[in-house]
Amino acid sequence: MKRIIVDYEKLTSEILDLLVEKYPGGYDYDDIISFQNSQGKTINAVEVRTIDTIYLVKISRKLEDTMDQYIEDENSFDDNNFDDFNDNYL
pLDDT at 79 over 60: no
Please give the model's pTM, rounded to 2 decimal places. 0.66
Count of CB atoms situated within 10 Å of the CB of 11: 21
How do residues 7-65 score in pLDDT, each as one tens digit?
A: 878 889 899 899 989 998 888 889 999 888 889 988 889 999 999 999 999 987 666 67
The pLDDT value recorded for residue 9 is 80
Phi, psi of 37 (to 5 degrees): -80, -175
Residue ranges making up the domain that contains 6: 2-89
| Residue 82: C-alpha distances to residues 13, 45, 68, 78, 89 (Å) | 22, 36, 21, 6, 10
Give me the number of domains the chain comprises: 1
